[in-house]
């Protein structure tokens, strides 16, 4: 086994142990899907596969959503782990830079990735937030935090700052309009853009059916952001 393969194997075990028991949609299987998709995208983009795979594996190791809103927790936990495993300083910096910038921060907040490897991981992470699995994860997350499924009296919002986005607590359906439906147009790689088109349509179809059933009508109502 090569040195990089050994680090990857150890990191897989570490992430599995750390995220065991998660019910919010940020479990090991989310990580595994993002890892696999990242590698597919990175192969096509000719990116550094070691950096991409490590960043994908560690991108939710200490997600701010579960650490009191501390957006430094993830990069810090990843750095500690990689230092323990004698990963080179350049690789550690590259991986932690990706983790620090991977998260969506609100509809009005730019989240551009400075590196090709970061773009691969960010696209893969966002692909797992849309489509059929994205729908399932959205409701798992909402249930985990005790959020209502939908409340027509609470409109979706455009969050113009990360602070506003972090403090949100609206119904799960609002999350589609505040984030999920916006991700298709934020893809940065050719494969990410291709895969996002079909997954986006799955969400559009779901919402059309959801509102038809909610309103006992075949017509989907206009949903406006405030």
Q: What is the pLDDT of residues 119-133, one digit of tens each?
A: 999 999 999 999 999
Does residue 223 form part of some domain? Answer: no
Structure tokens at 103: 């998260």
Domain annotation covers residue 203? yes
State the Cα–Cα distance between residues 94 and 213, nearest whole angstrom. 47
Phi, then psi, of 179 in degrees rounded to 5: -145, -60
* CATH code where residue 172 lies: 1.10.3210.50
pLDDT at 67: 57
| Tokens, residue 77 | 């936990």
How many of the other CB atoms lie within 10 Å of CB of 18?
16
Question: Two tokens at 45?
Answer: 């983009």
For residue 218, what pLDDT band results from cuts at 50, 70 and 90? low
Q: Which two tokens stand for residue 176?
A: 């589609």
pLDDT in tens, 16-60: 999 998 888 899 999 999 999 999 999 999 999 999 999 999 999
Give the separation between CA 67 and CA 58, rounded to whole angstroms: 15
Mean pLDDT, the chain, rounded, equals 91
Domain holding 104, by residue range, is 3-215
Whole-angstrom Cα distance, residue 142 to residue 149? 7
Q: What is the pLDDT of residues 58-91, one digit of tens each?
A: 999 977 676 566 678 889 999 999 999 999 999 9
225, part of any domain: no
Examine residue 221 and state whether it is found in any structural domain, yes or no: no
Token output for 224: 């406006």
* 92 within domain boundaries: yes
197 burial (CB, 10 Å; 0-12 / 13-18 / 19+) is: exposed
Determine the pLDDT at residue 223: 54
Distance from the Cα of residue 3 to its chain's centroid: 28
User: If you average pLDDT over residues 134-160, what whole number do you get?
Assistant: 94
Answer whether residue 21 is part of any domain.
yes
């Amino acid at each position: 086994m090569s040195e990089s393969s050994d680090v990857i194997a150890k990191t897989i075990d570490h992430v599995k142990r750390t995220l065991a028991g998660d019910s919010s949609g940020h479990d090991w299987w989310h990580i595994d899907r993002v890892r696999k998709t990242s590698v597919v995208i990175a192969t096509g983009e000719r990116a550094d596969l070691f950096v991409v795979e490590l960043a994908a594996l560690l991108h939710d190791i200490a997600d701010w959503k579960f650490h009191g809103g501390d957006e430094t927790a993830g990069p810090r936990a990843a750095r500690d782990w990689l230092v323990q495993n004698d990963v080179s300083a350049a690789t550690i910096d590259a991986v932690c830079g990706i983790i620090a910038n991977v998260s969506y921060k609100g509809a009005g907040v730019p989240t551009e990735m400075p590196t090709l490897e970061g773009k691969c991981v960010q696209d893969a992470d966002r692909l797992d937030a849309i489509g059929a699995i994205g729908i399932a994860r959205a409701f798992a997350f909402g249930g985990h935090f005790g959020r209502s499924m939908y409340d027509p009296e609470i409109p979706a919002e455009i969050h113009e700052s990360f602070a506003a986005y972090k403090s949100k607590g609206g119904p799960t359906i609002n999350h589609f309009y505040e984030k999920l439906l916006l991700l298709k147009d934020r893809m940065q790689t050719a494969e990410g853009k291709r895969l996002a088109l079909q997954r986006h349509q799955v969400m559009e179809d779901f919402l059309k059916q959801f509102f038809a059933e909610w309103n006992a009508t075949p017509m989907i109502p206009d949903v406006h952001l405030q």
